[in-house]
Structure 1
């Protein structure tokens, strides 16, 4: 029990500080926690190169949906592979994996959406509210995660309204919508605030014209392109489709 307690502490520290996972509920697959525990149980002194490979393994398996629907035989294989890697007798070979498409629907029950959120949190760490004050997204997610990412376009019948690209973390004054706040920030030239959320001036022009569907389309392509750059940097193939269904596949 003492050994297990220490091992789990190592897993938590790895997820927090190296994989940049701020909250347990955002881990895409529970099996990843178990496999990380296998690694730290059987490993000795862990060098930075091995940690980097483990970090890439976490991101690749999250984005590719590697553990979706894993059966007992596959889980046993994953455990044996991780044990061998921990002992320096094997490698984590996931370079032939292909990432799943950018999710079309924001649903935290989807591992692909959780992976997107982890990327989003890492990519935009210094967000600001409409008044320029800093936002602590992690604290908000810890207390009210369903309300943290607010809709920009609130009309559900607008095409793409359920996309993660139609969500943003920002507090606005009473009676002021996110859409109105973004338009005002663009008019005031507050690109620093817009950039902290990954919102471009080009996309806001569609908000000004009340072309909500086009705004979502433009922002979806902009965000997906940035995430794709990250996927390629991991050494795996991006999805053959730009956008796809957010499968409900967490345990």
Structure 2
């Protein structure tokens, strides 16, 4: 509907190395391909991973003289509440989805973005090291002792959002890189996450596996959805694309009458 507020997706984790920006780029491109009007803001003014990825994508489209579906994107210019709000307002013009990628550290604007989120996505590597950011685990029983500081931060963001406009924050924990855990440890981590999800209120969905292909795609700004540019696909590529489709579907974003069926990401026969 014209003039409707964009759906606000925030990718946030104060720990680096969780695949946050890579996941954010793939979600942004996937939604763009399905017909959504997406705009992205990178809050990491120094590293600019999401911004550089999409900048590489635009350069590849020009170099290859081809059309690569790309969202609008920018990097934070003025690191104040007022500067953030001004850029969000600018990006919101004509957008159905606003996607914000935050730094892998505590950041005031990341906290502000969390209070505005409709969907808050926290990618984590499937390990107790990453889980400790959200909940402390007993070393003997592997049971959750108490929520950690980041869960409390999200709780505060949810309260601020409810007070601001009565809205809710759908917190999604994205389990990345599952295949590198041995079976018993995977079960323990999974059980602890399930227990913690009931205590602090997040959903758990599968993310992306650790694959060399993701690192190789960055210089060209390509994604697993750019079938024509990737050339011949191996089994690992096909499996990774399936992971991506399932991940975006599991985000359960509202269709608003504009989100094409996800089968649209399948290559033409």
User: Greater Rg, structure 1 or structure 2?
Assistant: 1
TM-score, normalising length: structure 1: 0.27
> Relative to total residues, which structure has the larger strand share, 1 or 2?
2
Higher helix share goes to which structure?
A: 1
Q: Tell me the TM-score normalized by structure 2.
A: 0.26
